[in-house]
């Protein structure tokens, strides 16, 4: 079992600068993009709340999970290149695979930590 946790970078800024309707539209675009990337699998996609989303599935091969992350990243870039939005969609993403004696809570915590590491790496590249 694996979990990917992601959030929409600068979501508060999107709401503050462009309005809540623009923020809601961005969330809807992310949800659509994630559903499209998981439609041919048994992966479960959900919004955790706010600007966070999760994908959960039965895969354990990290290369396969990384391919999913890469497809999502490519689709975000493609979407931004043709988008009608006044701002780009940017996602921070992290994943974890359930350890042998792990729990759902430990899986989610590990994926959350990985997402925050990715967010920090992306911020340091933009500074």
CATH number of the domain that residue 78 is part of: 3.30.70.270
Domain that holds residue 33: 2-126
What pLDDT sits at residue 4? 97
The secondary structure of 39-104, three-state, reads: CCCCCEEEEEECCEEEEEECCCCHHHHHHHHHHHHHHHHHHHHHCCCCCCCCEEEEEEECCCCCCH
Structure tokens at 89: 């969609």
Task: Respond yes or no: is residue 51 known to be catalytic.
Answer: yes
pLDDT confidence bin for 125, thresholds 50/70/90: confident
Q: How many structural domains comprise the chain?
A: 1
What pLDDT sits at residue 37? 93
Q: Which of 9, 43, 51, 112 is catalytic?
A: 51
pLDDT above 90: residue 56: yes
pTM of the model: 0.90
């Amino acid at each position: 079992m694996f979990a990917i946790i992601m959030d929409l970078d600068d979501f508060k800024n999107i709401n503050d600068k462009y309005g809540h309707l623009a923020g809601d539209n961005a969330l809807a675009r992310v949800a659509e993009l994630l559903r499209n990337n998981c439609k041919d699998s048994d992966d479960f996609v959900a919004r955790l709340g706010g600007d966070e989303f999760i994908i959960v599935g039965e895969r354990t091969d990290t290369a396969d999970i990384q391919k999913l992350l890469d497809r999502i990243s490519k689709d975000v870039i493609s979407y931004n290149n043709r988008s009608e939005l006044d701002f780009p969609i940017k996602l921070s993403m992290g994943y974890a695979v359930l350890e042998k004696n792990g729990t759902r809570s430990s899986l989610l915590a590990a994926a959350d930590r990985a997402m925050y590491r990715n967010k920090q790496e992306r911020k340091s590249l933009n500074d």
